[in-house]
Amino acid sequence: MATLTELWSSSVDMGERSRRTTISAALHQSGLYGRVARRKPLLCKRHMTAHLEFAKKATKGLSDHEKQDSLV
């Protein structure tokens, strides 16, 4: 994937002088935006332990069949 600056410089090299805003507008119309999705943070040890404790308490007293149904 090329950056906006790379696209602009390649258009200048090809002799098609255009503004960066024009290139940016064309990319936006095509549905391309300069955004990167945030990474989901990994669970720390404390959160994993708390989640496991919650799951154990929530399934306490259930039969094996009921536990399997609650996982789906």
Domain ranges of the chain: 1-32, 43-72
Place of tokens 């696209």: 7
Which pLDDT belongs to residue 72?
Answer: 60
What is the DSSP code (8-state) at residue 63? Answer: -
C-alpha–C-alpha distance, residues 18 and 48, integer Å: 53
pLDDT tens for the chain, residues 1 to 72: 678 888 889 888 898 888 889 988 988 998 888 888 888 888 899 999 999 999 888 888 878 777 777 666
Query: In this structure, are residues 70 and 62 in contact, taking their beta carbons and an 8 Å threshold?
Result: yes
pLDDT at site 34: 80
What are the Cα distances from residue 3, in Å, to 6, 24, 32, 36? 5, 10, 11, 12
pLDDT for the residue 71? 65
Predicted local confidence at residue 51, as pLDDT? 92
pLDDT (0 to 100) of residue 1: 65
- C-alpha 43 chain-centroid distance: 16
